[in-house]
Chain A
Amino acid sequence: MQMIRREPGGILVASLLTLLILGTLAAVAWQARGLSGLGIWDWRAVWFTVWQAVLSAALSALLAIPVARALARRRFPGRAALVTLLGAPFILPVIVAIMGLISVFGRNGAINDGLRLVGLPEISIYGWQGVILAHVFFNLPLSVRLILQGWQAIPAERFRLAESLGFAPADISRHLERPMLRSVLPGVWLAVFLVCLTSFTVALALGGGPSATTVELAIYQAFRFDFGLGRAAMLGLVQIGLSLAAMTLARWITIPAAFGTGLQESQGPQGPPGWHKGVDMLAILLATVFLLWPILSVTASGLPRIPLLPADVWVAAARSVVMAASSTFLALLLCLTLALTIARGNAHWIEMAGMLPIVASPLVLGTGLFILLRGWFSTDAMALPVTVAINAIMALPFGLRALIPAARTLHSDYGRLADSMEMQGLARLRYLILPRLARPLGFAGGLAAALAMGDLGVITLFATDQPTLPLKLYQLMNSYRMTDASACAVLLMAISFTLFWLFDRGGRLA
């Protein structure tokens, strides 16, 4: 059986995507040929990458359990807002969060002020502990949301049954909660592990040195400081190998979707009273403080200084907005084309191609594109376009996750009607696809825009005199202009959130 009409666009996009990702990989591999392989420092980077990811994922998942349980069984004013807030780190620029963490845990932060006051030794945010702290900051909220979904998936009837059987909290935990956690936690752990495995910005800002360099950071250093393309390429292959190895774990462990499913106010059971309630409220309080304090702290010091920011910061901001908009447009175009073809079915490999960017590391892509393009373009000429393109590609898996289900519904509900009216091309786009897919398109666009706006990755490979806003922020941090850096961080955060809000809102209103 076959449908009579086909959608060639998706096949083309998927082929180009596969070609690009495999092509850059091949370019990197070709460059790496005949080189002496990796030194002791490189293997230390591999080792650090793996163990920090293992530890960050374990800490995030474990710390998330009490918070998710408290959110699942307590009702209080502001609960819905808090659950929404837990989704925010996904679109929070990494470098902004790092500024926030430095302002709390850094040398002149509140924590060290307190420690000095009582005569205790200072803690340092730089090094492996800082890398792990930042990873937990980003992934604790994600883990809480995922585990909370698990909690809310336990039918309320079962809790009522437990109540009627006179279960104590320990019995409920044993018969209802622990089985759920056993099935949910491995997926949560793996989701966080994958994110931390390709960590670049955090390691760039807080790590470095022999004891806290990730493979991605080592690629950057090899490329940028030694111009050791061969070594960068070799490390790129190692990075891909690590990601692929981790992905094979996903054959046994289901990775839950990181966002999307609404966590609406469910009429779940109330938890036990007494000290249990105290523990729950404490967990929620601690998590909220941990997440909000750094952001509020950097906002408090940065906000008043925004008007004093030098002109080149504003220029960088404008450049970043234009780049984020271009990246979003490109991402939506690719996503929509792929999703519409996938919705027509019989195209499993196209879906796989769309998910390829998960394994591809942006720095490997960037290195590969540099190797391929350097014969034709100068580094300066390719810096911004390559960044725009790679950000668009990296946003694809998230966009596709939002768009594919909606595109499938669209196709099964209205595909035949539109075909029978011969609605093709622009007419179909204007009168069917855009109106019906406006919401997921807006959401996907918001994600793509916020991710592109806040990204500090590929652009660092190129010694460009046209910095993006995140790069400008990083440069300010490196020259110890911390007040300007704070103001810049607030500006970057505000723009990222605004871009997400504009797209998401636009999609809802359309």
Chain B
Amino acid sequence: MLELCDIAVTLGEFALAADLSIPPASHMAVIGASGSGKSTLLSLIGGFLAPDRGRIYWNGNDITALPPGRRPVSFLFQDQNLFPHLSVAQNVGLGLRPDLRLSSDQRARLTRALEEVGLAGMETRRPASLSGGQQSRVALARVLLRARPLLLLDEPFAALGPALKAEMLELVARIADETQATVLMVTHDPQDARSFAPQTILIDKGTAHAPTATGDLLDNPPPGLRAYLG
């Protein structure tokens, strides 16, 4: 269980407050207008941003001061999820060991992970020689190997077409089930929220609200969200 207790952060004019908890193994959408603070919320949980106030707990342990790599988190950013100068195998292998000294057992797991995301035999390719969908799969193979209990998606598939995006979300769901992970997914698309996430965190007027059922929220949106959805 992830708990944000009385969190507040200010970045210049912008402010965000959050006081909520997220049950284990849930799939959660994060919705809000542009600039409302969706990425900020994920950055707080991921450890790229320290809150001015409040604590973050994972299964009762305070993780507020942990650096990003020590948190129980896998993060997929909007872009730059892969190092362009490293091969597919190295990019995925970094998820197991940052110094890439992999044991033979780890190498075998790496190969299996690549097979599982449909990239068998692509170990030595560079990201530049892959399609956008394949690049997403490389990043997902790394998520699969890291098997961290929290998966944060900051619209990593925004640049993909609708069909490809749906395919990736299916893959994410499969990986999350396999690793029993909690998923927080920022999205602009109500359809993605409905199909992927039974529950949604709404960010509105500087506050991240406690999760509510996605269907209810989208059917009867509060005024701010209604204006955003149109």
Contact = CB atoms under 8 A, between A and B. Distances in A.
Interface of A: 1-5, 413-414, 416-417, 419-424, 426-428, 430-432, 435-436
A1 B86 contact: no
Contact of B69 (A419, A432, A436): A419
Nearest to B94: A421
> From DSSP, what is the main secondary structure of chain A's interface residues?
helix
A423 B94 contact: yes
Contact of A431 (B65, B81, B83): B83
Interface centre among A5, A421, A424, A432 (most CB of B within 10 A): A421
B57 interface: no
B90 interface: yes
A432 B90 CA distance: 12
Contacts of A424: 69, 98
A342 B36 CA distance: 29
A138 to B, nearest CB: 38
B99 A426 contact: yes
A431 B86 contact: yes
19 contacts: A1-B10, A2-B50, A3-B48, A3-B49, A3-B50, A4-B49, A4-B66, A5-B67, A413-B80, A416-B48, A417-B80, A417-B83, A420-B68, A421-B69, A423-B94, A431-B86, A431-B90, A435-B85, A435-B86
Contacts of A4: 47-50, 65-68
B11 interface: yes
Nearest to B152: A420
A413 B99 CA distance: 20
Interface stretch (B70-78, B106-114, B163-171, B220-228): B70-78
Contacts of A426: 99
Number of chain B interface residues as a range? 20 to 34
Given A1-B9, A419-B69, A422-B68, A414 B80 contact: yes
B98 A414 contact: no
Nearest to B73: A420
Contacts of B80: 413-414, 417
Contacts of A430: 99
A254 to B, nearest CB: 28
Nearest to B74: A420
A94 B230 CA distance: 70
A187 B46 CA distance: 46
A479 B74 CA distance: 71
Contacts of A416: 46, 48, 68, 75, 77
B72 to A, nearest CB: 12
A432 B83 contact: yes
Interface centre among A1, A414, A435 (most CB of B within 10 A): A1
A377 B9 CA distance: 55
Contacts of B210: none
A413 B74 CA distance: 17
Complex A-B, nearest 7 residue pairs according to Cβ-Cβ distance, in ascending order: A422-B69, A427-B99, A423-B98, A419-B68, A435-B85, A427-B98, A420-B68
Interface centre among B66, B68, B77 (most CB of A within 10 A): B68
Nearest to A423: B98
A286 B73 CA distance: 66
B69 A427 contact: no
Interface of B: 9-11, 46-50, 52, 65-70, 73-75, 77, 80-81, 83, 85-86, 90, 94-95, 98-100
Interface centre among B9, B10, B49, B73 (most CB of A within 10 A): B49
Contacts of A413: 80
Given A1-B11, A431-B86, A432-B83, A420 B46 contact: yes
Contacts of A436: 85
Nearest to A419: B68
A96 to B, nearest CB: 38
A507 to B, nearest CB: 14
A5 B50 CA distance: 10
A1 B12 CA distance: 9
A69 to B, nearest CB: 41
A422 B70 contact: yes
Contact of B50 (A1, A419, A431): A1
B67 A414 contact: no
B93 to A, nearest CB: 10
Nearest to A434: B85
B67 A417 contact: no
B183 to A, nearest CB: 16
A415 to B, nearest CB: 9
B50 A417 contact: no
A428 B214 CA distance: 40
Contacts of B81: 417
Contacts of B77: 416-417
A414 B84 CA distance: 10
A406 to B, nearest CB: 13
A435 B87 CA distance: 13
Contacts of B73: 420
Contacts of B100: 427, 431
Interface centre among B9, B11, B47, B98 (most CB of A within 10 A): B98
A237 B113 CA distance: 66
Interface centre among B10, B11, B50 (most CB of A within 10 A): B50
Given A1-B9, A4-B67, A4-B68, A422 B98 contact: yes
Interface centre among B11, B66, B94 (most CB of A within 10 A): B94
Interface centre among A3, A5, A416, A436 (most CB of B within 10 A): A416
Nearest to A416: B48
B37 to A, nearest CB: 13
A416 B69 CA distance: 10
A421 B68 CA distance: 8
A358 to B, nearest CB: 33
A50 B29 CA distance: 68
Given A413-B80, A431-B94, A419 B48 contact: yes
A451 B75 CA distance: 45
Given A421-B95, A436-B85, 20 more contacts: A1-B11, A1-B49, A4-B65, A4-B67, A5-B68, A416-B46, A416-B68, A417-B81, A417-B83, A419-B47, A419-B69, A420-B46, A421-B69, A423-B98, A424-B69, A427-B98, A427-B100, A428-B98, A431-B83, A435-B83
Contact of A420 (B49, B50, B69, B99): B69
Contacts of A431: 83, 86, 90, 94, 98-100
Nearest to B51: A1
A422 B66 CA distance: 11
Contacts of B68: 4-5, 416, 419-420, 422
Contacts of B95: 421
A72 to B, nearest CB: 36
Nearest to B95: A421
